[in-house]
Amino acid sequence: MLILLYQFVCAPGIRKIRDLNRIYIQKQKDLETLNSLILEYKNKTAQPSIAFAPENFNLYLFISKALQDSGLKSQVARITPVSENILLNAIEQHITIVLEDIELAKLLNFFDAIEKKQFLTFGYVQISRNPQKQFLIKVDMEIVSYKSNGK
């Protein structure tokens, strides 16, 4: 009777305990990992949120107008169409502009128009002085805007 009890009750029970103990230890580690992931997530989400452009905002039109207002429209050497990247909670729009032989003052006006808009930022800016005409500069820049994707 005792042998049968050992064979069919005790031994399977011991095996089950071993397995469950292993699972329990793993689950505890998982819980720790989960907590650290959540902490990381919270830290990241705690960063200031992105300012989004209004729904009806058109980056291309805005840049065109800003260039015109700054008197730089004629100095545009190249401008790329708007491209989009879809992120988790935003739509990222890019536009790259190359301006040649412009005056610094006009450029600053243009930059001012850009920086006033919270939802616009520079992907990159590269300013280089014209070696021959020291007061004229060439600017290659990427302007980025963020729109909400509704999530």
Partner 1 sequence: MNLIVYVRDREFYFYYSEGKSLQGVFESDQDLSKFFTENKVKNLFLIFSRPLIFIRSLEFPFSSLNKISQILPEESTSLFPVGLEELELFWYPVGREKTRTSVLIMGIEKKRIEKWQNIKASFRFNMKVGFEPFVLANYVSKTISDRNYTIIFIDKNYIAKYRVENNIVVEGSSCFFEQQDYLDEYLNGIKNEKINLPVIVLGDLSPNKLMPNFRMISPKKSESCISMFFALFQHHPNLSILPVFKIFTVSRSEITVNPALICGLCVYLGIAGLMFRPVILARHYQEKVADVNKQMEEVFRVAFPDVSRIVNPLIQAKEHLKNFQDVQKVMPKISVISIMATISGIIPEHIPFKISQMSLRGNDLFLTCLTDTLENVEIVSQIFKKAEMFGAVKIGGITPEAGQITFNLLIKIKNVQN
Q: Which residues here bind partner 1, judged by CB under 8 A?
A: 1-2, 5-6, 9-10, 12-14, 16-17, 20-21, 23-24, 27-28, 30-31, 33-35, 37-38, 40-42, 44-45, 48, 50-51, 87-90, 92, 108, 111-112, 115, 118, 121-129, 131, 144, 146
Residues 128 and 33 sit within 8 Å (Cβ to Cβ)? no
Angle subtended by helix axes 59-70 and 104-116, to nearest 10: 140
Q: What is the DSSP string of 29-82?
A: HHHHHHHHHHHHHHHHHTSPPPPPBPTT--HHHHHHHHHHHHT-GGGEEEEPPP
Of 74 and 130, the one with the shorter C-beta distance to partner 1 is: 130
Of 10 and 77, the one with the shorter C-beta distance to partner 1 is: 10
Q: How far is Cα 130 from Cα 100, in angstroms, rounded to an integer?
A: 9
Minimum distance, C-beta of residue 111 to partner 1, in the bound complex (Å): 5
Minimum distance, C-beta of residue 79 to partner 1, in the bound complex (Å): 18
Minimum distance, C-beta of residue 66 to partner 1, in the bound complex (Å): 14
The angle subtended at Cα 76 by Cα 72 and Cα 81, nearest 5°, is 120
Minimum distance, C-beta of residue 24 to partner 1, in the bound complex (Å): 5
Written as one letter, the residue type at 5 is: L
Of 83 and 126, the one with the shorter C-beta distance to partner 1 is: 126
